[in-house]
Amino acid sequence: MSIFSGLFPTGAGFTRKFRPEFGLNYYSNVKTIGQYLKKAGYKTAAFHESGYMSPRFGLDKGFDIYTESRINAAVTFPRAIDFIKQNKNQRLFLLIHTYEAHRPYTRKHFITEEIKKGSNPKELAISKYDSCIYFLDNEIGKFFRFLENEGLMDKTVVIITSDHGENFNYNFNGKPGHHGYSLFDCEIHVPLIIGGAEEFRLGKRIHEQTSSVSILSTICDIAGVKSEPGIRSRSLMPVIDGEKRNERYAFSEATQILTSEQKSIRTNRYKLIAYYHDNDHSKKKRCDYKLYNMKAKQDDRPNVANDHKNIVIMSKKILDRLLKSININNELMGKFIPSIKYSDEELDNQLRALGYIN
């Protein structure tokens, strides 16, 4: 939702509160990346694999074509290629979405007999996950070769990212691997790769901390489109061009957790996670804070809040100011559109297989 809107989830009104029979809430004034690019004269198309990308959840706004496939990347990418072939002389904004690197991990390229016979379910899940990434990588490779063969790569900016990672230390329905239940780095530290046109073939790795919320403004900046005031998105183009910035913090939130809504502030050195046990930070009821040293090994990071109380105090102030500004901005976002009840057994089954319905 942040990638589409340039807003934090609660800032856009995107919450679900574990009501699988309903869609996503949102504010009426939320503008999506499809709307930005369509208004600027681009032909906009999305080829996706349903789930929470289903048009039921409002993310189709601004797309001329919004094609759904509940199959796999071997179908989704060729459909996108066919679209480009038919429209390659126009200015295009194309979104390709896939669940290949996602539960239920259906690929088996790296599943050896030894792993099959073993008693380590975590190792098996990771091997399946790696197999899915391998399969997806091949499909992306085919897509890139198509762009190169058609002479389109130099005219195209390609952005590859994900909305989350996977936590293989967490068991969902007794099986390792899931997401959405914590703000640990294995779930929120995701790839962001920009390439394609010559000016983006820099071979450069940017170590500065960034945020998925910045993707919308970066796309608008590249396309020469002005993003609207009030969004949280800030273009990454100055950083890509070598501009040095003061250390930034990244804000993350998990709004769908039944028992404890979580929000975090992360710098390159520390991450503060706030656990709101009433599932509503605005009521300012019981809240626990944990602080983690990001320089420590990921699997061995202890809570160091008692050792760095000054860092906790400073991070809490940043978090409180940010949450206050989100609440103020929400007043400008228009009418709140509540979830619309739907009945779609096939979509429910897909969401269940993806791990979104227990």
> Which H or E run contains 3?
helix 2-5
Cα(328)–Cα(335) distance, integer angstroms: 14
For 33, 165, 224, 229, the CA distances from 36, given in Å and listed in that order, are 5, 27, 11, 13
Bigger pLDDT: 174 or 251?
251
- Interhelix angle 73-87/121-149, rounded to 10 degrees, is 20
Residue 73's identity, in one-letter code, is: A
Indicate whether 353 pLDDT > 90: no
pLDDT 10s digits, 73-93:
999 999 999 999 999 999 999
Second CATH level (architecture) for the domain 2-246+342-353: 3-Layer(aba) Sandwich (3.40)
Indicate whether 24 pLDDT > 60: no
Domain boundaries, the chain: 2-246+342-353
pLDDT band at 118 (very low <50, low <70, confident <90, very high): confident
The pLDDT assigned to 207 comes to 84
pLDDT band at 95 (very low <50, low <70, confident <90, very high): very high
- % of the chain with per-residue pLDDT over 90: 42
SS3 readout for 299-314: HHCCECHHHCHHHHHH
Least confident of 43-52, 125-134, 279-288, 308-317: 279-288
pLDDT band at 41 (very low <50, low <70, confident <90, very high): very high
* Burial grade of 244 (CB within 10 A; 0-12, 13-18, 19 or more): exposed
Tokens at 349, concatenated: 């089954």
User: Which is nearest to 358 in space by CA: 20, 9, 8?
Assistant: 20
Q: How far apart are the first and last CA of the chain?
A: 22
Average pLDDT over residues 114-124: 85
Average pLDDT over residues 334-351: 62
Bigger pLDDT: 46 or 345?
46
Give the DSSP letter string of 131-163. HHHHHHHHHHHHHHHHHHHTT-GGG-EEEEE-S
Which residue do the tokens 């996670």 mark?
273
* Cβ contacts of 225 within 8 Å, gap of 6 or more: 36, 37, 39, 40, 219
pLDDT band at 218 (very low <50, low <70, confident <90, very high): very high
User: Which is nearest to 53 in space by CA: 34, 39, 67?
Assistant: 67
For 10, 153, 194, 218, the CA distances from 223, given in Å and listed in that order, are 27, 16, 14, 9
User: Which is nearest to 91 in space by CA: 44, 35, 25, 153?
Assistant: 44
Cα(243)–Cα(83) distance, integer angstroms: 37
Q: What is the pTM assigned to this prediction?
A: 0.86
Which range is most confident: 53-67, 238-252, 308-322? 308-322
pLDDT 10s digits, 219-263:
999 999 988 777 788 899 998 888 887 767 899 988 665 556 889
Indicate whether 43 pLDDT > 50: yes
Bigger pLDDT: 328 or 118?
118
Cα(72)–Cα(100) distance, integer angstroms: 7
Cα(157)–Cα(219) distance, integer angstroms: 9
pLDDT band at 292 (very low <50, low <70, confident <90, very high): very high
Average pLDDT over residues 147-175: 88
For 43, 232, 280, 305, 318, the CA distances from 314, given in Å and listed in that order, are 46, 21, 22, 12, 6
pLDDT 10s digits, 120-154:
888 999 999 999 999 999 999 999 999 999 999 99
Bigger pLDDT: 141 or 276?
141
Give the DSSP letter string of 322-339. HHHHHHHHHTTS--EE--
Which residue do the tokens 């790769």 mark?
193
Bigger pLDDT: 245 or 308?
308
pLDDT band at 171 (very low <50, low <70, confident <90, very high): low
Indicate whether 22 pLDDT > 50: no
> In what side-by-side order are the strands of the sheet with 250-254?
250-254, 261-266, 270-276, 287-293
Burial 252-290 (b: 16+ CB within 10 A, else e): bbbbbbeebbbbbbbbeebbbbbbbeebebeeeeebebb
Contact predicate 19/339, CB 8 Å: yes
Bigger pLDDT: 162 or 69?
162
Helix (H, G, I), strand (E, B) or coil at 276: strand
The pLDDT assigned to 18 comes to 41
Cα(102)–Cα(53) distance, integer angstroms: 14
